[in-house]
Structure 1
Amino acid sequence: MAVSGGPAKPPGRRVRLSAPPPTIPDPPPVRPEPTGSAAGPRTTGRTIVIFKTETPKTEIRSTLNRLAGINELVTSADAGGNAAALAALDDAKAVHFERLGIAILDKQDALPGLMAAAAGAGGPIMTVEPEYIAHLCSQGGLSRDYLKGFRDAAARLYDEAGNGDAAPAASAAPAGPLAFADTAQFTWGLQATGASVSRFTGRGAKVAILDTGVDLQHRDFLGRLNNNSSFVENVETVQDIHGHGTHCVGTACGSARPATGVRRYGVAPDAQIYVAKVFNDAPRPEALTADVIAALEWAVENGCHVASLSLGVAIDQEIEQYREPIRRALLAGTLVIAAAGNNANRPGLPGFDSRYPATNGFVEAPANASDAMAVAAVDAQLRLAAFSSRSSRVTGAGGIVNVAAPGVNVFSSVPTALGTHAALDGTSMATPHVAGIAALWHRATGLTGAALWAKVVQSVRPLDIASADVGSGLVQAP
């Protein structure tokens, strides 16, 4: 669900629970927010300053003092970590994340002077931007507020849950070479990507999931959640109350034999899990750029080979506050994989909602950053999902879709309080599939960074769908 000023996601997407759904009031139809980037993404009132590579700390301090009146600058190293640095922002008025070269200022009145300095030649500032707020790239969550928009799906699920096994994919066709379905052993996504038959498990690969956190008490992850950090103000734990993050962690790195006894749903079951909580615990979670960048730097410093970002800012252009940190992360060996977005509504495709305007959408930030791997969503018949965003660079702006992955009726973990497991739709669900596949390729080849990017993209299964929609094709395991 969108929390930005950009396009909202049409309600009514399928949410499938592993237990009978709660009684849900029948609300009136919810009209979407204004579509397109013209409405503008939401901002925080803070300022992001991106410095040129290898600018000395002393020059950064003097520049911020001279142009913005900043007398005290806290660095992630000085504060003893990125989370601590963010906590010090109110007192210090500025925080510098040294590894990625980004400073966050708790003020916006210095923006004109900083922008003028960025426009000049020879200075240390690369660019200056307002701090944006990101939203989740799933078609709804599992809290009561989200479920109100999914009455029809919940009613259907009540019947499907009665057999105690996986519900068939809503878009499933009769069995054939291009049709997949969950089995007692594997989700359809693991089968479609070849992860179910791969001899690699991701052992030795480090995968960071930047999201709403994870259920620390979930039986399927016991003993594997030791590398966690919350980057959200006044939130000390990564405990997930929303469900989105737990679902993404499960898809990327869920166990080969889940303790709960369900089918396998994790692509890289032996990968090391690094959980970064970047979304707050609001009913419609929000993630500030500062929190996302702090978490990304944390992932880089911990040697993570892959970072999965199922989040988006509804803006149809590259923004430097994501583009440059992602570029620097890739150079450091961390491949950033991001959800293309759910702002499309495609006639003739599964999931099209005739109540809302037809649109191809656009690739959102940070997925539209040139060094992020942007992921589209397909269903179990390998058809493009109606909500999956199209490459916007074909119209001269934004970014391109690089690959596709399973993103419809994806079964994975959710917090125990929300049902233990559920099937969700969205490019959010496709993205951790790719993160897990990248972890398998790292284990198989030892590749990192740009070389790992190339291996993932070159090893796809071609699809009979325009490359503007699915990039090079469906990701495949080694």
Structure 2
Amino acid sequence: MTSRHESDRGGDGGGPVADSRAETTGRQVVVFTEDGGRTDRAGLLRSLAGVSRTARSSDFDSSAMDLEEAEVSDALLFDELGVAVVTADPDQLAALRNAAASPDIAVLSVEPELVHHALDTEDTDVRGRIASPANEAATTDIEHFRDTPEFTWGLQATRLTTSTCGGLGVKVAVLDTGFDLTHPDFLGRAITAQSFVPGAAPQDGHGHGTHCIGTACGPAAANGTRRYGVAHRADIFVGKVLSDQGRGVDGGILAGIEWAIANRCQIISMSLGADVSTVSVAYETVGQRALAAGVLIVAAAGNNANRAAGRPGLVGAPANSPSIMAVAAVGPDLGLANFSAASNPVVGGEIDLAGPGVGVFSSVPMPVRYGSKNGTSMATPHVAGIAALWCERTGRTGRELWSLLTQHSRRLPLPALDVGAGLIQATG
């Protein structure tokens, strides 16, 4: 069980303090201890802070909470995760923070609800390769990959071209801006789609989600173009948690994670985040509980660096959670992308793996059909898709799957602070 993080408490003994970079909504994310008992959590909110109108994920089919219906509630309670998002006045907030400070009450933490964004970028500069006398010679031996008529450079660099696996029997959830459900490359695929953005359908009006799903789960053979997708036989779960403007909040993202876990997805891919340094107790707790349930959550490290200008950036939330895999981006020469964030000095803020994230060709909404994007957002679905291949091959999930991915990654002549264990590699 997650321990109480005293270092995250405010000076008044209340909940975690909002990072100075954080964009918040005014609502609060309440995390319950595992021993609190899920049936008592709504009653606990009512007795502690007078929160009477609670919408529970378990009351919805497949735990797919209708956030438009739930908007009339004072609290959204995600039973599987043991987390609630609460609208609280100052007195209610004080009561909840007092509960979090008490070892005798089943409340682990209270923290502000964050706003998150899709993590792609227009930056194509990959001059961020860090050279030193120790690794400068080694970098000259690394090949430069290029898209070919058969495969994208990313599929070549991750050795997907020789893999015999396609993710058969594996469920991959991509929580993003949705998906173009009319895209012809995905006709006949097993796709389950759900929106967690109030008033919006799962259809992608932005393009980011369609691109990420294309990389993670695109077809083995696209019509008239190169192969761009990894887990071409996986079952696709589309969770729209970001609006068509590429913006979303903790409530929607947590609803998407709850839904994915309830539907027994083995991998959750999240190319989104907030540029904050502090670790969210909520996401770390969710990450731990997901791993315990055999679910690996993979998240984009962030695009807040400018390596060419000497600014390494930092891994933001939720990727900076120790139990969520943080993914950096490299370019076709396997040099670090200029925008790719470095490890955050907080515990858990380390980069875990790297993936192809510059000039990544994939699906985009019709009628355009295909396009290239840059970002740690593009690296993340490479890792998620390859995780599905390893899951199919070995049957490993959760923590064991995490270990497999890092053990079999390609070591790069770059600092672990920037690329973790190295470049993700597909199973044979």
Fold conserved between structures, TM > 0.5: yes
1:107 shift after superposition: 3.0
- Whether 2:252 is the aligned partner of 1:270: answer no
Residue 335 (structure 1) aligned with residue 296 (structure 2): yes
Contact 2:78 2:84 in 1 (8 A): yes
Letter in 1 for 2:203: Q
Measured against aligned partners, the alpha-carbon deviations of 1:390-447 in whole angstroms (never above 9, x if no partner) come to 0012xx4660000111000000000014x21111110000000000110010011010
Q: Which residue of the partner structure matches residue 76 of structure 2?
A: 95
Q: What's the offset of the Cα at 1:226?
A: 2.8
Q: How many residues of Structure 1 are paired with residues of Structure 2 in the alignment?
A: 395
Which residue matches 1:194?
159
Q: 2:397 aligns with which of 444, 448, 454?
A: 448
Alignment of 1:355-370 (within 5 A): 358-370=310-322
Offset, 1:218: 0.6
Partner SS for 2:36: coil
How has the CA–CA distance of structure 1 residues 360 and 401 changed in structure 2, closer, same or farther, with 3 Å as cutoff? same
Q: Does 1:427 align with 2:376?
A: yes
Cα deviations by residue, 1:273-331 (Å, 9 ceiling, x for unpaired):
1110001123xx21110111111111111111110000011111211121111211111
Which position in structure 1 is the counterpart of 2:29? Answer: 48
Deviation of 1:120 (Å)? 0.9
What CA deviation, in whole Å up to 9, does each residue of 1:142-178 have, x standing for no partner?
Answer: xxxxxxxx9x99xxxxxxxxxxxxxxxxxxxxx9752
Query: Conserved in 2, the CA contact under 8 Å of 1:73 and 1:92?
Result: yes
Map of 1:8-407 to 2, 5 A cutoff? 39-109=20-90, 110-140=92-122, 177-224=142-189, 226-235=191-200, 237-258=201-222, 260-282=223-245, 285-347=246-308, 358-393=310-345, 396=346, 399-407=349-357
Q: Is the 8 A contact 1:45 1:108 kept in 2?
A: no
> Which amino acid in 1 is paired with 2:319?
A
Specify the alignment match of 2:423 in structure 1: 474
Change in Cα spacing, 1:474 to 1:58, as seen in structure 2 (3 Å) is closer
- CA distance in 1: counterparts of 2:157 and 2:32, whole angstroms: 42
Deviation of residue 81 (structure 1)?
A: 4.7
2:27–2:112 contact (8 Å) kept in structure 1: yes
Q: Percent identity?
A: 45
CA 1:358–1:38: 2 relative to 1, 3 Å: farther
Q: Distance in 1 between matches of 2:62 and 2:220?
A: 33
1-side partners of 2:184 and 2:65: how far apart? 30
Any gaps of 5 or more consecutive residues in structure 1?
A: 1-36, 141-149, 154-174, 348-356
In structure 2, list runs of 5 or more residues that go unmatched.
1-17, 126-139
Q: 1:61 deviation in Å? A: 2.5
- TM-score normalised by the chain length of structure 1: 0.79
In structure 2, the CA distance between the partners of 1:108 and 1:406, relative to structure 1 (3 Å rule), is farther
Q: For residue 77 of structure 2, what is the amino acid of its counterpart?
A: H
> SS at 2:76's partner residue?
strand
The Cα of 1:225 is off from its aligned counterpart by 5.1
Determine the C-alpha separation between the residues in 2 that align with 1:207 and 1:249: 9
- Give the corresponding residue for 2:9: none
Query: What is the distance in 2 between the residues matched to 1:70 and 1:81?
Result: 25
Deviations 1:222-246 (A, max 9, x none): 12253111011011x2111111000
- Post-superposition Cα deviations, 1:128-149, rounded to whole Å, max 9, x if no partner, equal 0111010111105xxxxxxxxx
